[in-house]
Structure 1
């Protein structure tokens, strides 16, 4: 007997809401798993107005509530799912390996517990957080919000990004989240945990919508965060919405460094967590002949197993067959003219129970400026090419993370100074390295907050 679909209600300012209009959420095999309520524009408008009217909790209360929510998210039962059921469901629906979902869930729980520290890491050293601080009697910078309501258009390729917007709650924003219809379970569970922990329904809301209504959430907020491709970056650049686009993370190995000593790190940078994240390496550039490195990468990546995403041994992501074939077709088209070391005949391996795993691909390009270096795909797909000092920083621009294996301080100086490179890791550090308190793509607080001078008697 088939299980009844999980009902994922919208979570508005008056509580849970279930509409007649619902979206079926399927797993990678095409089986229905849940029904997600889609709310109309009127519901969005009422909820956003309620968030604007609400009074922000005092900082100690919201920090304590976030810590409680982190524990509830990790250990509680929501939508009938305990921790194991949640992880398995997210894996089945998103195609992300269940071990990766477990890591992401632990990171979200930790982020909630530490948000009171990490959110304030962006505060300027000369500023204080409260106008009542003794420093303001002589005049001081006070770090204050740029608005009151923050909206999030969430990503669905990985649960991890949901750890970021918790910092907005820590800073006193009320938050409205539009979940991805690909994977709505993580934000639904997180918002329920936050409400149980002490945030009112007019402080954090979940607003599933169709695409036509989605922009209303961002429009009715003071500031927003949106995930997507280059089109999203272009749409929102310079606005009150912070776009989070492709990472195009890279590795550079210069001639004074033997890549063989760092092959484990290079392989892991490409394949860690199924290769689905913006901090996975999509390009490896080497000073000298790139062929031996491409060959070694291909040999290592070819050994990764093909397993259903909910299998504890799975390390590769899965997709419905149709979308996997579409990605494969796109890859083969973009790879025209390159040398295929792995995946040249395709990357899709269908699973017996339905769905398909996307296997790794390694292609060698002819030059550092090859157009393929801008192609980022949601599985371990890497472009390997040559680099020389005459190429300079140009081919390395527009990187979320750049791991550079070099002995050249002057080169590192240039890379750190380059505005379009967000993070520079020198030495044997994988591109996916991150820890609480360090910026991912700058601190979110840099966008959410400003300083103003306050002096008082």
Structure 2
């Protein structure tokens, strides 16, 4: 159904350097039941090329007053009527098209507003201590270094799994990049609202654009930008692995490790929360739990807790699980059944699809126990609370825990924590009762974005 107060599908125009742009034949955006709720204008390659050219000619957003501007944009995003949608209408539509529980969307609205307001200060957290922000900095003297951009135009190929994915690129805008956002066609409402809110707060249209495209045209965006962040699966990571201008954000494969010196029963709430919070759809949700010792008791307790979660439509205030179109839900369950062959089932694929009777289905949790810490299933990440529980031993070491966005370590072993921090492929290590989905402005997600966007450049002599 359309958002409250609307009489038909919402029009989501491209937001170009000269204002909104509406195509004659927009693409339908449907909710989880297949009902059309919006029409998204997709721009052609020539429009992308011209927009990027305009961005390149524009200067950075002025540093003076930037914090006030960002604060106003965050407030507008969280409370205003933007693009004809009030915040509750916006949240309703996001929930219906993405299948994300309404309470998760509401929390993401508040969280995104906070990240907007703090974007400049968050970006500054990644600046090396030996550099200054610009050559006019009064601290600058002979032999100092300046923090400089590696380019001028930053492009974002966004995903639609969670509204919070749009928090990261705000730092690029604060660092002086002109930004082009390609929204996910599955959930275009959040980037459209955020870009429009920033425009209304004072960011010029030739410094920030929203460019919805089809997959073919998306290549023009990558080619035309100086730096690009792309979200996707393993195939996306592999495609751009050799391109230094592209930062590929793939599966998180976040994990929990419970060592023998820790009673997992005292931390079960944190483990359940790590798996199922955010609807289990985020890259920071735990998809594997490693246990030093017998993993069966923990797997059983985890399955029992997850089995209690209610199956409700996403817009219901009590909903906590994601919803997908029925055919997509059945395909995911069939895939899980295939990859889980040979494991011990606690909550299986046969219980994943909870048909809501309107063409959509809740994706219920799944829990499987694997035989060893090297099992292939441990690399499988699915867009709902699906977790693999594995035995782990000191002999397995950190090698079994590699390729991890977040690892929450329930341990008292400081030497082990040191080893986890030293492992290059583990991006973040949380110790104790910190769920894997914890995030805060100024704290790196997968390293600081500025590591990719900026560099220290020596400056000597009079300026």
With the shorter chain as reference, the TM-score category is over 0.9
TM value normalised by structure 2: 0.97
The alpha carbon displacement at 1:61 in A equals 3.6
The alpha carbon displacement at 1:344 in A equals 4.2
Corresponding position: 1:400 with 2:400? no
User: Contact 1:249/1:281 (CA < 8 Å) preserved in 2?
Assistant: yes
Q: Alignment partner for residue 57 of structure 1, among 54, 58, 61?
A: 61
C-alpha offsets along residues 315-365 of structure 1, whole Å, 9 cap, x if unaligned? 000001111111111111110000110124230001133311000000000
The alpha carbon displacement at 1:238 in A equals 3.9
Corresponding position: 1:436 with 2:441? yes
**Match for residue 129 of structure 1?**
133
C-alpha offsets along residues 191-247 of structure 1, whole Å, 9 cap, x if unaligned? 111111111111000111111100111110110000000011111124201011000
**Match for residue 110 of structure 1?**
114
**Match for residue 269 of structure 2?**
264
Corresponding position: 1:119 with 2:123? yes
User: Contact 2:369/2:390 (CA < 8 Å) preserved in 1?
Assistant: yes
Structure 2 Cα separation of the partners of residues 65 and 403 of structure 1: 36
The alpha carbon displacement at 1:455 in A equals 2.4
The alpha carbon displacement at 1:62 in A equals 3.4
Structure 1 Cα separation of the partners of residues 140 and 84 of structure 2: 50
User: Contact 1:138/1:455 (CA < 8 Å) preserved in 2?
Assistant: yes
Structure 2 Cα separation of the partners of residues 238 and 139 of structure 1: 34
The alpha carbon displacement at 1:371 in A equals 0.3
**Match for residue 173 of structure 1?**
177
Structure 2 Cα separation of the partners of residues 57 and 294 of structure 1: 51
C-alpha offsets along residues 70-100 of structure 1, whole Å, 9 cap, x if unaligned? 1111111123210111111100000000110
User: Contact 2:143/2:458 (CA < 8 Å) preserved in 1?
Assistant: yes
**Match for residue 75 of structure 1?**
79
Structure 1 Cα separation of the partners of residues 278 and 215 of structure 2: 29
Structure 1 Cα separation of the partners of residues 47 and 140 of structure 2: 42
Alignment of structure 1 residues 52-451 onto 2, 5 Å: 52-239=56-243, 240-451=245-456
The alpha carbon displacement at 1:14 in A equals 1.1
The alpha carbon displacement at 1:447 in A equals 0.7
Corresponding position: 1:38 with 2:62? no
The alpha carbon displacement at 1:57 in A equals 2.6
- Runs of 4+ aligned structure 1 residues displaced above 4 Å come to none
Structure 1 Cα separation of the partners of residues 61 and 407 of structure 2: 39
Unaligned runs of 5+ in 1: none
Structure 2 Cα separation of the partners of residues 60 and 447 of structure 1: 24
**Match for residue 13 of structure 2?**
9
Structure 1 vs Structure 2 CA RMSD: 1.2
C-alpha offsets along residues 372-397 of structure 1, whole Å, 9 cap, x if unaligned? 11000010000001000011111100
Task: Give the count of matched residue pairs.
Answer: 457
Structure 2 Cα separation of the partners of residues 422 and 163 of structure 1: 18
Structure 2 Cα separation of the partners of residues 142 and 238 of structure 1: 28
Structure 1 Cα separation of the partners of residues 367 and 331 of structure 2: 18
Structure 1 Cα separation of the partners of residues 135 and 13 of structure 2: 40
The alpha carbon displacement at 1:184 in A equals 0.2
Structure 2 Cα separation of the partners of residues 64 and 143 of structure 1: 23
Structure 1 Cα separation of the partners of residues 138 and 196 of structure 2: 38
